[in-house]
Structures are given as C-alpha cells and as structure tokens.
Amino acid sequence: MNLNKKTVRDVDVRGKRVLVRVDFNVPLDEKGTVTDDTRIVGALPTIKHLINEQARVILCSHLGRPKGKREPKYSLQPVAKRLGELLGAKVQFVGDCIGPEVEQAVGNLGAGEVLLLENVRFYAEEEKNDPDFARKLASLADVYVNDAFGTAHRAHASTEGVAHHLPAVAGFLIEAEIKSLGALLDPEHPFAAVIGGAKVSDKLVVLQKLLDKVDVLAIGGGMANTFLRALGYQTGKSLVQEEMIPAAEDLITRAREAGKELLLPLDVAVGNFFMADADKRIVPVNEIPEDWLVLDIGPMTVKRYAEAIKKARMVFWNGPMGVAEWPQFALGTLGMAEALSESDAFTVVGGGDSVAAVERTGLAGKMDHVSTGGGASLEFLEGKELPGISCLLDA
C-alpha cells in the first residue's frame, strides 16, 4: 500500500461540493447528548480548512450498529448540534443520506456552509459496499475526502465505493495517522511496544509482526494469562485461551532466539470475583490463588514496563493492562499512561481502551499521537491493505 497520498491541500475545493467521510461514531446518553466529542474534535481541522476555502461541505458518517434499518437512537442529529457548537456556526442536518430531500439540501448549500447527512448505516447497502448506493452518495459532490481513519480498514460504500466516482484525497486526520503509524513501520531503536487486551487471538498477527521490529515487547491484560500458562504458571479462574497456548509458547521461543526482550507480568492484581468491588490482592505470578482471577498487572510489573519505556526512543501502546473501567483494577493501565506521558520517546497510542485511559487521565496531550482507529491501527501495523486509504489518489 502506497502511503504517500494526496490530501485536501492538494485539490482546488473553492466553491465545490465536497463529500467528507468523518468518524462521528460517538457515545450519546439517553437524552441524545454527546458524552465524548473526541472524534468530532479530531475532524475539525479538515472541516475548518474546507470552510475557509469556501467549499460546500457535505459530511457523512455512521453511528452505532443499526444493521441497515432506520433507528432513531442512532440518528446523527445530536452530533450536528455538537459540531455546530464546536465550530461556532450553524451545521445543517438532513434526515437521510441519499434521495431527493438530500439533493435539495445540497443544492441549497452556500459556499463555506456545512451539512451533515443522516447515518449511512441506516442503509444495508453501506456495509455491503453496494455500487449503486456508492454512486448515489458520490453524485452529491465534486470531490471526496476521507478523514475517518477508524473505518479505513472497512471497504464500505462511504469509505471506498465513492472513491471510484470522484477525485479522492485524505483529510488531515488520516494524513496524521499515516505519518505517525507509518513511522512505526521503520522505527528508531530502541523501539518498545506495550500490548494489552483480553485475547491473544485478537492480537496474534500484530504481536508476530511487532516482534520483528521491536527491541522490547511488554504484554498485559487478560492475554498475559495465556502467556503465563505457556510458562507453566497456574492462573486460577482467570480468562485463558487454552487453544492459544501453543502460539504463546512459539512467540516466547521466537523472542528468545531473536534476542528480543519479551516482558510478562512479575506480579498481578487478583480479585475473588469478576466484579468492580471484588476483594483485591497483589500476588507474585507464581502464587495466584486457584479460586481467584487476574484482573490487572501489579506494581512491580508497572515499574518494570515503565523502565523499558523510559529507555526507548519509540513506543507503541495498544490495549489495557487490566479491567481498566473498574478503578481498583485500572492502576496498571494508568501506570502505562503515566510512563508514556513522561517518556522522551516518540509515543503512539492506539486502540479504544488505551485511548480512553489517556483521555481519562488528561494525558492525551502529552502523547505524540493518539490514534483514532483501534482495529484500523492494528491492521495498518500488520501491514494489511486498508481499503479506505488505498483508494485515495497517490501523491
């Protein structure tokens, strides 16, 4: 995949209708109020550039998983309101994304004005990348800009299909993602990666790819239990993927043979139940009680991983170190956020839960790059083709 792509800077948009695929898949409360506008804020530089250039800005996005049906709780109308507040300007909204009503709203759009279309996933054709649906979306505009990195690994009508009908370029958010994640493909050394999350199966390919590039690979979260079992430790009632133990053994062997440091927990926080208010103990990994569950990495492990981060010139972090949504089992994840924030390295954070952790601690601004795409950032690092990027014009 050629990563050198044309951006919105490289095309003349003055007075033109510009269809922008954004990622406005944001959480809403029961009153329909946006509770976290991080993704909306991420799209502002591209939208403001287009407004300044006097383009007619048509935004499209998905929200939630309505499965091809019109569901009011997944309407983007509240997002239009929040975007308007952030821009300090009125954002028009239309209750569909194709058809006569939309065509009329686009026709009435003035230079420098913004229109948000209704959820593209109200149509099953969106996720099927239906050519006719993509053509109808594309017919609304003269230029297409993709700025939704979080869905760039999906070949949907609004992320890939429309690019067959219009000049297609990257927005500033996708440009930043390509630049920062691209740097990890040819890293400065020492390069450390900290990988967490529940399942080895979800991260196996990226672990294998990273092992070729890193000097240190530190593992936490539920998936660390499978590695501990591969080393012969008992893990009580913890989540373990039995079928992945051979793969974990193989990674441990490969790391040893390649002279790479594979760091696994030295101590863990265990709970007597899988509950936020479970009794908690810190134990060494060789003393996990048989009726307890590993729910976080322990303080000795946090210290060891933080030392590895301190020595690195580049760090990539993806996935929580424990059940980070429960305060008493979030200390490992928060420890990683603090270690990265204090590091002099080029730091990249990717993946929903680790991103949420750095946002929650207020440390996101101290990272060099916080990726907006969980699955997309992992597939990028696995070296996979991302349809939403490969369809854009090469620079």
pLDDT in tens, 241-285: 999 999 999 999 999 999 999 999 999 999 999 999 999 999 999
Question: HSE-up of 392 (CA within 13 Å, CB side)?
Answer: 31
Q: Tens of pLDDT along 317-361?
A: 999 999 999 999 999 999 999 999 999 999 999 876 788 788 888
Prediction pTM value = 0.88
Task: Quote the mean pLDDT of the chain.
Answer: 94
Local structure of 216: helix, strand or coil: strand
Of 41-50, 153-162, 265-274, 346-355, which gets the smallest average pLDDT?
Answer: 346-355
Q: How far apart are CA 278 and CA 263, in angstroms?
A: 27
HEC per residue, 221-265: CCHHHHHHHHCCCCCCCCCCCHHHHHHHHHHHHHHHHHCCEEECC
Q: Which of 141, 192, 102, 145 is nearest to 16 (CA)?
A: 141
Q: To which residue do tokens 């265990």 refer?
A: 270
Tell me the CA distances in angstroms from 60 to 43, 258, 287, 377, one per residue in order.
12, 46, 53, 21
For the cut 80, the answer to whether the pLDDT of residue 3 exceeds it is no
pLDDT range class, residue 381, cuts 50, 70, 90 = confident
- CA angle 221/371/206 to nearest 5° reads 50
Q: Which two tokens stand for residue 300?
A: 């000795």
Structure confidence at residue 380 (pLDDT): 87
Query: 394 burial class (0-12, 13-18, 19+ CB within 10 angstroms)?
Result: exposed
Mean pLDDT, range 126-135, rounded to an integer: 97
DSSP class of residue 5 equals B
- For residues 84-108, average pLDDT: 97
| pLDDT higher than threshold 80 for residue 172 | yes
Could you list the active site residues?
A: 39, 199, 352, 375
Q: Provide the pLDDT confidence category of residue 87 given band limits of 50, 70 and 90.
A: very high
- pLDDT band at 382, cuts 50/70/90? confident
DSSP-based three-state secondary structure for 143: strand
pLDDT higher than threshold 80 for residue 374: no
Domains contained in the chain, CATH given: 8-173 (3.40.50.1260), 180-381 (3.40.50.1260)
* Tens of pLDDT, residues 102-112: 999 999 999 99
pLDDT number for residue 1:
65
Percent of the chain with pLDDT over 90: 82
Sheet with 216-219: strands ordered across: 261-263, 216-219, 191-195, 314-318, 346-350, 369-370
Least confident among 73-77, 99-103, 179-183, 190-194: 179-183
